[in-house]
Amino acid sequence: MDELDWVSIKSGLLEMARKRGAEVARVGDPALLEDAEPGLRPSDLLTDVKSMIVLGGAAPRAAEWQSPRVEVMETVGTADRMAALGSSVARHIEDTFGYYALNVPTSTDENDKAFLDFKAAAIASGAGSASLAGPVLDPTYGFLYLTVILTTLPLPVDGPLQEAACPAPQCVEMWDEKGTTPCMAVCPIDDGGCLGGEIQEGLVIKRRYNEEKCRDRVYHYWTPGYQAALERVLDEPDARKRKMILYGSFFTRTMWSITYSGVSQGQCFECIRACPVGTEQRVLI
């Protein structure tokens, strides 16, 4: 096929993904991720991979962001809708063009590691840029869930964004006035939170991040908590105490989270709630 065919195949695929719910659809060069550690390289997942399609979407709805009950947001964050979309795009590629297409699992591999660095894939394809808070941010939509399809289809690549979404102009202003930004103000690393850093000449520098603490909040009701509670139950000789653990609210909420969600269920959004990038999408009349 000549170059024009690849261009129209690419636009057809991305258009299909958008029609099915992706807010952002881009193509990146998987070679940009090949210096990742062994096991996390695109070619470790799909031999002869030529392109990676990155789709972003399924962000919480405006009403969910607006809800005064923070517990609502603790239950709606999940990547499963994007994973389903990625699988259907991958199937379409294989059925229609006869090229391999693998929707990268959004669950974790050995040692609780991801199969691929989704963030790096999104940045390499321009499906957002890195942020001080952590998630990749699209300049228009802000935080989105991601799915990555690796394929042997040689699609033309989009490449990284020219302008980063973070820090937003409001954050630069806030930094100049108060020495902090909205995300750092809600989760300050030096005061019980997870985020720190500075802004210099419009760029984030010296970023600090307490990953362990953040992970505990984002995945509070999740597999590690379930494992820890189970261990305590197995070690607990007192039947009454065992019952309290198993039927208590932590274990019950954890079971709901695990059994009624897809993968990558986030439960803390406070830094992104404060982040101005994409706020237009969260406020309706």
**Which residues sit at the interface with ligand SF4, rule CB under 6 A?**
131-134, 166-168, 171, 181-183, 186-187, 193-195, 214, 217-218, 268, 270-271, 274-275, 277
Nearest-angstrom CA–CA distance, 82 and 60: 12
Give the count of alpha carbons within 13 A of 5, CB side only. Answer: 5
Nearest distance from C-beta of residue 212 to ligand SF4, angstroms: 10
- Cβ proximity to ligand SF4: between 1 and 70 the closer is 70
Helical spans, DSSP H, in 220-277: 223-235, 239-247, 249-259, 270-274
Q: Whose Cβ is closer to ligand SF4: residue 30's or residue 182's?
A: 182
Closest separation in Å from C-beta 116 to ligand SF4: 21
Residue 166 tokens read as 């973070």
For ligand SF4, the closer CB: 89 or 166: 166
Which positions ≥6 away from 265 have C-beta within 8 Å? Answer: 77, 78, 79, 219, 222, 257
Task: Please state the closest distance from residue 269 (CB atom) to ligand SF4, in A.
Answer: 6
Complex with ligand SF4: residue 7 or 205, whichever CB lies closer: 205
CB of 94 to ligand SF4, least distance (A): 36
Q: CA–CA distance from 268 to each of 218, 271, 273 (Å)?
A: 5, 8, 9
Could you count the other beta carbons within 10 Å of the beta carbon of residue 71? 9
